[in-house]
């Protein structure tokens, strides 16, 4: 039995994760704890009732130290995620991180923790999107040298980081495939009169509007044709199911720093 805790339990993603764990067809997975920030009026409430599932007998707590679990699923914010990472590392707990917005130093901290505990960290937990990452490598190698490459992403009005972690990961896949450094070739905005487009750049366009869960398109445009790779998420459940799949896979892994390419067996 793998006892799973969900943090950020009262948020939209937290409630979806609670549902995904509870409804998993794997009987070896069990929701054992739900965590919400200290001071929340929902502390003590039943996690199942909060998620619309009926009473599960799992009260929401304010501190990981008060939760019994083997693995934590964390889709919160950068600073809380780093604190949760430290707790899991110090207490030998497995960890699935779906939080985005980390800088390079913080990503290094996550990678270092993989020396001590098994963890999965991915910018996007969707199975479909991770298949897109895999296909994008080949598309970039075939089309990239002769194309202008643009990445367009749309998310709901509440999303804080921009571009999204998924858009940046798409950019990294393209850049790595073409032997470029994304830090040097990325263009994050255009305004006014400028020089003609440099083909070696990778452009990003960001849209924040309404309740869009997440749309991403990579555009390869050359003389005479345009090829687009698009993924559209219509429900947060797609990310939650991916996280539960990662949790199940992580149960049998030794300490290490993994991502969804490892979980899905897509690693080259």
* Residues belonging to the active site: 155, 159
H/E element, 14: helix 12-22
CA dist 217 and 167 (Å) reads: 9
Both structure tokens of 76:
């919160």
Question: Which residues contact residue 236 at a Cβ distance below 8 angstroms, ignoring those fewer than 6 apart?
Answer: 12, 13, 16, 213
C-alpha closest to that of 125 among 157, 156, 165, 93:
165
By the 10 Å C-beta count (0-12 exposed, 13-18 middle, 19+ buried), 262 is classed as middle
């Amino acid at each position: 039995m793998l006892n799973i805790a969900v943090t950020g339990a009262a948020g939209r993603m937290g409630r979806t994760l609670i549902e995904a764990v509870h409804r998993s067809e794997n009987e070896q997975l069990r929701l054992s704890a739900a965590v919400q920030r200290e001071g929340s009026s929902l502390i003590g409430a039943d996690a199942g009732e909060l998620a619309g599932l009926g009473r599960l007998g799992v009260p929401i707590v304010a501190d990981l130290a008060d939760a019994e679990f083997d693995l934590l699923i964390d889709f919160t914010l950068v600073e809380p995620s780093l604190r949760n990472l430290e707790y899991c590392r110090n207490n030998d707990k497995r960890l699935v991180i779906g939080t985005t917005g980390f800088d390079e130093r913080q990503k290094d901290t996550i990678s270092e923790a993989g020396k001590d505990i098994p963890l999965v960290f991915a910018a996007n937990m969707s199975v479909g999107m991770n298949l897109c990452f895999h296909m994008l490598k080949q598309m970039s190698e075939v089309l990239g040298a002769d194309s202008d490459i643009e990445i367009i992403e749309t998310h709901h009005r509440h999303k804080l980081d921009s571009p999204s972690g998924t858009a940046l990961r798409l950019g990294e896949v393209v850049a790595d495939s073409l032997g470029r450094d994304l830090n040097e070739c990325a263009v994050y905005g255009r305004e006014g009169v400028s020089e003609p487009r440099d083909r070696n750049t990778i452009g990003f366009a960001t849209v924040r509007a309404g309740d869009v869960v997440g749309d991403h398109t990579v555009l390869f445009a050359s003389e005479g044709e345009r090829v687009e790779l698009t993924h559209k998420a219509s429900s947060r459940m797609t990310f939650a199911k991916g996280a539960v799949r990662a949790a199940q896979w992580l149960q049998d892994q030794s300490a290490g720093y993994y991502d969804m390419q490892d979980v899905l067996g897509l690693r080259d």
